[in-house]
A and B are shown apart, each in its own frame.
Chain A
Amino acid sequence: MITLLLIFFPLVAGLLLLFVKGQQVRNIALGTAVIEFAILLFALTQYQHGDTIQFDANYNWINSLGIHFHVGMDGISLLMVLLTTFLVPIIILSSFNREYSKPSLFYSLILIMQFALVGVFVSLDGFLFYIFWELALIPIYFICLLWGGENRARITFKFFVYTLTGSLLMLGGLIYLYLHTDGNHSFDISALYKASQSIDAVGQGYLFWAMFMAFAIKMPIFPFHTWQPDTYTVAPTQGTMMLSGIMLKMGTYGLIRWLLPIAPLGVAHWAHLAITLSVIGIVYASCIAIIQKDFKRLIAYSSIAHVGLISAGILAVNVQGVQGGMIQMLSHGVNVVGLFFIIDILQKRYKTREIASLGGIRNLNPQFAVLFLIVLLGSVALPLTNGFIGEFLLLNGVFQYNAWIAAFAGLSVILGAVYMLRSYQTIMLGETNSLTTSFAPLSGSEKAVLLIVCAAILVFGVYPKSLMDIAEPSVIKLVEGVKLAMGK
């Protein structure tokens, strides 16, 4: 029941929101998102630690094809839903310093997108998963198209076609798997898992690529990333936050929930190439990030680097790697939302995102400088921030797979520190220039968002165990199962 409520509450609220007029609509949207988070917290209290699927709901949907409306959460799903429901209120709150045209449509699309995202993370039926997966694309496409920046029509369309290409390949893979299920065929996740055992290594290789392409484009992994920097840059701040904070986790979640168990032999054969691509992406994106002039674009590239490490850790198929991936998904979500918000604050005040044109802001507002610094340190994975534990586990996981690859992957930490600290230095330190003569004080909503983000960074940096415990049993079960199927 709780799962159904979590899925449909934002949808209903989002649709009703269309009929509300005026700027007060954002308060209602915020209220909805907070209630949704409260529901999730309630679910957390009801959660029994273990590796089973809980809050299960299973209804017949398209009977003649064995398609079910089957949703439920284990620890992995629960953490992803936690991330979604935690970030959406922050994202809505972060929009309070702006007045968007057609606010009811804007907030409605955000809530409908939340509906689709939660749906992706709790689906236990292949067809349902695909529907939610695609559904998430439509609201974000319109958010970017209607409220985005320059050149948005071309760029968002590229984004749409890119992700749709991946999705259709995944659909092909799912149908292929579906036709291997017993009897009258079924899309239920357990039936699909079982069907994959009857497919030989070559077939699983095709399956691996069909699914991996979809996830790789979504995350994105080098060389499928070319849509990402443009889209992140052109999207409105909230759209970028949804894309980078939550939506890219659909890809990494897909790796864990669908790719590893469905194509273990494919993973055994192709993971080396996929991990190599991920690691190339880390180094490549970090290097490009260093030379970026636009701060938003820099963060977009840094996101490719971070997600490359997550992907490499997961594909290494060991408990540390996958567990690190889980934690890093949460940390990256929180940090990147914080960073994009800081860019939004700067852009709102100075009408530019060019790093070199800013400077000396710390002198004007030390409070903002401290908050910025915390978010930044979280993002470069300093110990005692949330980024550290995830990156540590991920590197540990990759190291167990191959020490050389881990050495290159480790560059992400160093290069990350280079471009992040350099930008901080240019923007915040030094002397003020003609542009940065003053800094309008942070508004209440801006302060609130930054404080929540910083609190999350510090709390989970100091005490990550609370989160790790939720997913651990499920991760162990999953990894053991996959390893067994891989014949290790």
Chain B
Amino acid sequence: MKALILLSSLGVISLLAEIFSFKKLLYPLVLLGLTAAFVLNIGEWNTNITYFKMMQFDNFAIAFTSVIIVIAFLWFLMAEGFFKEETSLTDHYALVLFALVGAVLMVSYTNMAMLFLGIEILSIPMYILAGSNKDDVHSNEAAFKYLIMGAFATGFLLFGITLIYGATGSFALEEIKNAVANPGTVPSIFYTGVLLMLVGMAFKVSAAPFHFWAPDVYQGAPTMITAFMATIVKTAAMAAFLRLFDTTFLRVAGSWSDVLWVMTALTLLVGNITAVFQTSTKRMLAYSSVAHAGYMLLALLAANNYSNPAILFYTLAYSIGSIATFCIVSIIVNAKGDDGIHSFNGLGKTNPLLAGIMTIALLSLAGIPPTAGFFAKYYIFTSAFMAGNVGLVLIAIVSSLIGVYYYFRIIIAMYFKEGSHEEVPLDINHKLLLIVIGFAIIALGLFPDCIIRLL
């Protein structure tokens, strides 16, 4: 809760920076603020405080909030260049920080109203930020598509919430859960509500067949915002999904698990297979992000005591790997003006460090040991296996193999294809950030216990 208040005040302060002209100070201030928020957040571990039956900072919320703050911190380190433009600088800060507030709400809600507020507080800044590259047609297109599709999703979600309210007479998760304790007496509109919410959440995590917005938006939005969407937005949406379906709706799992089974299988296959045919790396990463949502849904569907830690670890591993890849993609785009896979040609010769970190990050996303991504996948598979979803695990294994194909295309381009012999310029901040992330990916893969025993 303290972290939430701090993040909100940081957002307000960054708006004030324009008036009181301390814009230069804002960057260190935000980094400091995030560090403080992280510490305050950890301090609330095991306290389990509830606020007006609206939010509960249980360990689940604290753990996911920590992940979100850590990723946001790394994101700010990576995205320093995004905050260079004089005219809109404070808006950018404020929007990003408010989006973070929304993300924290989404992992800590205990009331449908808060879930809705959280999603909207997160989404509205993202609509704006996706279009923040005002002169670029694609950026405008991305913002517009995102807004329309997001509005649809919100509509589904709200309709679902309404029906559930109609059936149970409450917005509070605990009361809804109790109201459906006896499945025999549950009115049928409740099930309709659950399915509509499922659709709404599937939009937000970009699960097939509700993923169509993702590639266009990811490709069109500024690369830094794409990274934000692929990491923080996805983490928050996944945690919200998990919090709702694996606790409140668990008793009526029969009504949604079959639908989710099909969605998971579709997401895995569509995401991975489509990614193979992309030539733009950003678009490829968009489809890969769809596929990763599929892996996480595997654990969500399993709904056993492995699910929470598995998804926590997966979001962390996936986000860190994505931050590294997006950082490198943006560096390449800046240097070569193109995000096609051929832009990576010869990078292994000109920039061994960049190529090395990219390789580690891609191996992690592909799930090869000893990286974090491998353990994340392993844990998800175990969770799904335990729930008896052997068929889905086999689909996931096949799609992992397809995944290897497109991730390795970049690796092969970097080390095998001849490219320009000019070194790509790399500033010291990014260099340090990438080295730290590279180590973090390996360290998480070797010592996952420190994360998974939390939940």
Contacts and interface: CB of A to CB of B under 8 A. Distances in A.
B449 A62 contact: yes
A135 B404 contact: no
B381 A172 contact: yes
A161 B408 CA distance: 10
A138 B359 CA distance: 11
A165 B394 CA distance: 11
Most buried by A among B369, B400, B401: B369
A356 to B, nearest CB: 32
A160 interface: yes
B405 A134 contact: no
A446 B16 CA distance: 75
A488 to B, nearest CB: 31
Contact of A131 (B370, B381, B400): B370
B405 A161 contact: yes
Contacts of B51: none
B404 A62 contact: no
Contacts of B363: 138
B449 A168 contact: no
Interface string B369-388: 11000100010011001100
Given A63-B453, A153-B412, A157-B408, A175 B369 contact: no
B381 A171 contact: yes
Contacts of B370: 131, 135
A178 B401 CA distance: 23
Interface residues of A, number: 29
A145 interface: yes
A62 B370 CA distance: 14
A165 B385 contact: no
A221 B404 CA distance: 24
A353 interface: no
A323 to B, nearest CB: 32
B398 to A, nearest CB: 9
A172 B397 contact: yes
A130 B397 CA distance: 15
A175 B381 contact: yes
B89 to A, nearest CB: 41
B416 A152 contact: yes
Contact of B449 (A61, A145, A153): A61
B360 to A, nearest CB: 10
Interface in A123-158: 130-131, 134-135, 137-138, 142, 145-146, 152-153, 157
B116 interface: no
Contacts of A175: 378, 381-382, 385
B393 interface: yes
B17 interface: no
A8 interface: no
Contact of B401 (A138, A161, A171): A161
A138 B368 contact: yes
Contacts of B33: none
A64 interface: yes
A62 B400 contact: no
Contacts of B449: 61-65
Interface string A159-196: 01100110011011001101100000000000000000
A63 B454 CA distance: 12
A171 B370 CA distance: 14
Contact of A160 (B394, B404, B452): B404
B448 interface: yes
Contacts of B374: 131, 134
A135 B369 CA distance: 6
A206 to B, nearest CB: 9
Contacts of B447: 62
Nearest to B378: A171
B412 A62 contact: no
A179 B369 contact: no
B408 A160 contact: yes
Contacts of A165: 401
A153 B410 CA distance: 12
A157 B393 CA distance: 24
A172 B397 CA distance: 9
A62 B451 CA distance: 10
A172 B453 contact: no
Nearest to B381: A175
B268 to A, nearest CB: 14
B397 A64 contact: no
B144 interface: no
Contact of A179 (B309, B385, B405, B448): B385
A149 B265 CA distance: 39
Contact of B404 (A63, A142, A164): A164
Contacts of B45: none
Given A152-B416, A153-B416, A171-B381, A130 B369 contact: yes
A176 B412 CA distance: 34
Contacts of B448: 62
Nearest to B348: A146
B132 to A, nearest CB: 38
B415 interface: yes
Nearest to A105: B352
Contacts of A134: 368-369, 374
Contacts of A138: 363, 368
A184 to B, nearest CB: 11
A65 B363 CA distance: 23
A390 B29 CA distance: 71
Contact of A168 (B401, B405, B416, B452): B401
Interface in B291-348: 309
Contacts of B400: 168
Contacts of A153: 412, 416
Contacts of B385: 172, 175-176, 179
Nearest to A132: B369
Contact of B452 (A64, A135, A145, A146): A64
A133 to B, nearest CB: 8
Nearest to B359: A142
A389 to B, nearest CB: 37
Given A63-B453, A131-B369, A134-B369, A179 B404 contact: no
Contacts of B408: 157, 160
B73 to A, nearest CB: 26
Contacts of A62: 447-449, 452
Contacts of A176: 385
Contacts of A131: 369-370, 374
A157 B386 CA distance: 32
Contacts of A63: 449, 453
Contacts of A61: 449
B368 A178 contact: no
Contacts of A161: 401, 404-405
Interface string B401-425: 1001100100010011000000000
Interface string A469-485: 00000000000000000
Nearest to A168: B397
A172 B394 contact: yes
B266 to A, nearest CB: 20
B194 to A, nearest CB: 29
B440 to A, nearest CB: 17
A8 to B, nearest CB: 13
B317 to A, nearest CB: 14
Contacts of B405: 157, 161
A152 B405 CA distance: 15
Contacts of B453: 63-64
A168 B416 CA distance: 26
8 contacts: A61-B449, A64-B453, A145-B415, A153-B412, A160-B404, A164-B401, A171-B381, A172-B394
Interface of A: 61-65, 130-131, 134-135, 137-138, 142, 145-146, 152-153, 157, 160-161, 164-165, 168-169, 171-172, 175-176, 178-179
List 5 tightest A-B contacts by C-beta distance, closest first.
Answer: A134-B369, A62-B449, A64-B453, A168-B397, A131-B369
Given A62-B447, A179-B386, 8 more contacts: A64-B453, A134-B374, A142-B415, A157-B405, A157-B412, A171-B397, A175-B385, A179-B382
